[in-house]
Amino acid sequence: MERHFHRDLAALKNDLLRMGALGQRMVQTAVKGLTDRDGALFAEVRRDEEQMNSLHMSLDERCFTLIALQQPAASDLRFLLAALKSISELERVGDQSINVVKSGEVLLREAPLKPLIDIPRMADLTQRMVHDSLRSFVDKDVELARSVLVTDDEVDALRDQVFRELLTYMLGDPTSITRALHLILISRSLERIADHATNIAEDVIFMAAGTDVRHRAVDQLVEAAREAGEAAR
């Protein structure tokens, strides 16, 4: 049972990374569709979204089964609960990529407003954050998790810059308003993707700190209760 559990856990980690890679690809493809003005790329993101949703369901179920069947030790349980959260963050990365696509589809029907510079930069940072947050989670790499939090500040700064610049366009030229609005919405979606990656990274930091400090009492209690239970049988 024990060996199976560790094999299952390793497989789960692998699939989490795969789900993360899918999320990354969705962000990149959505923004590439925008910069290349290529609607076929938007269709690709919509196909990826279906895969994302089915990964979400199957990984969710696998976490449940592992917790229910294996009754894992406190630290493994904490990992599995964090995995459940990460899975749902990744599913939302997919949702937000679809929001980028929706605004992108509106924008492709009109002439380009301006060459896009900050939005592709936001997308680059954001997809890297998705990658690094998952990697830090699987490897329990607190340093990498911290770097995700730092990049999130960069993304927030870009979001503000995009907002100010597009506001200037809107104020100067009313015909730009609809397009500028959709670009602002896209930058907000990218910011939210960055937030989802940040949530995953925060859990990594929390788990590392928690095992040391906050949760030590609970973890000890759990082990003691189990030992007592086994002794009584």
Binding site for its own copies (CB under 8 A): 61, 64-65, 67-69, 71, 74, 77-78, 81, 84-85, 88, 167, 170-171, 174, 177-178, 181, 184-185, 188, 215, 218, 221-222, 225, 233
Nearer to its own copies, 32 or 182 (CB): 182
Q: How many CA atoms lie within 13 A of 114 on its CB side?
A: 19
Nearer to its own copies, 35 or 199 (CB): 199
- Give me the least distance between CB of 191 and its own copies, in Å please: 11
Nearer to its own copies, 11 or 36 (CB): 11
- Give me the least distance between CB of 3 and its own copies, in Å please: 16
Q: How many CB atoms lie within 10 A of CB 13?
A: 16
Q: Which residues contact 71 (CB under 8 A, 6 or more apart)?
A: none
- Give me the least distance between CB of 174 and its own copies, in Å please: 5
Nearer to its own copies, 6 or 36 (CB): 6
Nearer to its own copies, 115 or 174 (CB): 174
- Give me the least distance between CB of 215 and its own copies, in Å please: 8
The candidate with the shortest Cα–Cα distance to 211, out of 222, 226, 200, is 222
